[in-house]
Amino acid sequence: MRILVTDVCGYIGSRLAELLQNCGYSIYGFDKRDLKTVSEALDGFLLGDLCHKTSLEKISWDIDVVIDLAGEASVDADSRKHRENNVIGSMNLFQWAVDKKIKKIILLSTVKIADSGSYAKSKQDSENRLVNLCKQHNCSFTILRSSPVFGLGMKGGVASWVNQYNKRIIPDVRNSSSELAMIGLNDLCRAIRFCLQDNSVVNKTFRISDGTGYMIKSIDCMAKHSLGRGNGYFHIPRSLLWFAAKIGDVLEKLGIRIPITTSRYLMLYSNLPDTDRNFSAETGMVFSENFLEMLPAIFGDKKK
């Protein structure tokens, strides 16, 4: 099977390409970047931008399946970037795929699709366009709405918060009731591989997490333990963070972004995620990675 992976040089794409190659698939990559350690190991690689149809026209390989990981993943990006990368870019790719008679498209989406804002709207638009196009052209799809992904080298909002523990100035979340739903990088890649092999997921959309509700205060405790610093932290009071979040909301409307807004405040103190197990229930997949167990490795055992 010949598979085209977009954003193949990214955090998820590079690991997925490695896993699929080890399983005997022929992997072709498409990306805005050319990370040599990734691209040179592929069966084929094309440097390009999905927002420009001419880039896709340069693809000369015969492809059986497309796995779309590309897009603007930051919720803090402006609406123009969200539309260009998550709607126009994806639609160009989907249209190219059906024109080439490719029979299966796997789209990695996000659980944040239920949120407000341009990011969520752009991802919903991308999903809707894929479903409609596949119905019109007898092409199958699978959509995975992923929870935040954890692992070595992890990125995103959770990573930014966890990295604050190296700086000793952290939010006071010791009494927080908030939880996070997440999924390990390797488990997510295994789930995508499953979607290549099993017809039970065809033309379906899934929320996907490892089914664990990770309590913020447990992550806080484990992070401190992993670094071996005990109580050597300045805990920013919750009231101060709330005040800063309100200022952050005002500044965001003016196009100025600071690290704390109401959405991030709520994530720290009152987030109750849907740790959806419908993918596991339907496919029988068991996820093995655990965020708390991996935290020491994420920090690199930097104990002082």
For residue 17, give the CATH number of its domain.
3.40.50.720
Residue 133 lies in a domain: yes
Please tell me the distance from the alpha carbon of residue 97 to that of residue 67, in angstroms, as a whole number. 11
Distances (CA, A) of 184 to 148, 167, 295: 9, 25, 12
Residue 8 lies in a domain: yes
Enter the DSSP assignment of 148. Answer: P
- The number of folded domains in the chain is 1
Please tell me the distance from the alpha carbon of residue 87 to that of residue 93, in angstroms, as a whole number. 10
Residue 119 lies in a domain: yes
Give the residue numbers spanning the domain of 57. 2-146
Q: Which residues pair with 109 in a beta bridge?
A: 145
Residue 90 lies in a domain: yes
Q: Rounded mean pLDDT of 136-161?
A: 91
Two structure tokens written together for 113: 């699709």
Residue 275 lies in a domain: no
Please tell me the distance from the alpha carbon of residue 159 to that of residue 219, in angstroms, as a whole number. 12
- Among 49-58, 111-120, 182-191, 294-303, the range scoring the smallest mean pLDDT is 294-303
Residue 109 lies in a domain: yes
**302 pLDDT above the threshold of 80:** no
Residue 24 lies in a domain: yes
Distances (CA, A) of 235 to 7, 125, 149, 226, 241: 38, 40, 26, 17, 11
Q: Which residues pair with 134 in a beta bridge?
A: none
pLDDT in tens, 176-222: 999 999 999 999 999 999 999 999 999 999 999 998 999 999 999 99
How much of the chain, in percent, has pLDDT values that exceed 90?
65
Residue 246 lies in a domain: no
